[in-house]
């Protein structure tokens, strides 16, 4: 799998680098707030897997101030609303993986996962075939989500 083999990994921080660029489509950034932003996961656990990350570079949850924590949760609500309208999932897995031991792929910069789920969506492919079946190309998903984010964020 690309993520495990290191394809796409860099020494710099993607959660710092991507929002500093002016290429939201290329970087899969769907929405920018004042303290945090919403980005698609390039290596999704499921179709529509989004992340909300603060602009502040920290891997320590206790270093987030009240405004950053509030905006992360507000953007999480916005993301869930958009995913419900565009993809109609049956549920969500959400949360932080803080530290390598907890499963954080990028432990130096906090990011809140929002993973849409459907009944029966898990299968054996990631374990047996080292692949994940995604039902829609990431660029198509990006376009659909972006349109809804623009409407919902107004």
Write out the residue range of the structural domain in which residue 119 sits.
2-152
Which residue ranges make up the annotated binding site for substrate? Answer: 41, 113
| Average confidence (pLDDT) over 113-132 | 68
Domains: count for the chain: 1
Catalytic one among 49, 57, 109, 111? 111
**Residue of 77, 75, 55, 50 whose CA lies nearest to 65:** 55
Least confident stretch, 9-13, 54-58, 125-129? 125-129
Q: Is 117 helix (H, G, I), strand (E, B) or coil?
A: strand
Annotated binding site: 41, 113
Domain CATH number, residue 28: 3.30.428.10
**Is there a catalytic annotation at residue 57?**
no
Tens digit of each residue's pLDDT (9 = 90 or more) over 50-73: 999 999 999 999 999 999 999 999
- Tell me, yes or no, if the pTM score tops 0.85: no
Q: Tokens 């529509």 label which residue?
A: 48
Residues 133, 44: contact at Cβ < 8 Å? Answer: no
pLDDT at 138: 85
pLDDT of residue 120: 85
Residue in the structure block whose two tokens are 């603060």: 54
What does the H/E/C string look like for 47-71? CCCEEEEECCCCCCHHHCCHHHHHH
Check pLDDT > 90 for residue 129.
no
């Amino acid at each position: 799998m690309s993520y495990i083999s290191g394809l796409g990994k860099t020494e710099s921080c993607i959660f710092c680098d991507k929002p500093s660029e002016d290429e939201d489509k290329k970087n899969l950034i769907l929405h920018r707030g004042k303290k945090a932003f919403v980005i698609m996961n390039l290596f999704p656990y499921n179709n529509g897997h989004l992340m909300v990350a603060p602009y502040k570079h920290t891997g320590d949850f206790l270093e987030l101030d009240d405004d950053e924590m509030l905006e992360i949760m507000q953007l999480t609500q916005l993301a869930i609303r958009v995913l419900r309208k565009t993809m109609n999932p049956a549920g969500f897995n959400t949360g932080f993986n803080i530290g390598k031991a907890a499963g954080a792929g990028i432990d130096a910069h906090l990011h809140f996962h929002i993973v849409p789920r459907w009944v029966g969506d898990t299968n054996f492919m990631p374990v047996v075939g080292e692949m994940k079946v995604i039902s829609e190309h990431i660029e198509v998903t990006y376009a659909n989500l972006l349109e809804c984010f623009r409407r919902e964020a107004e």
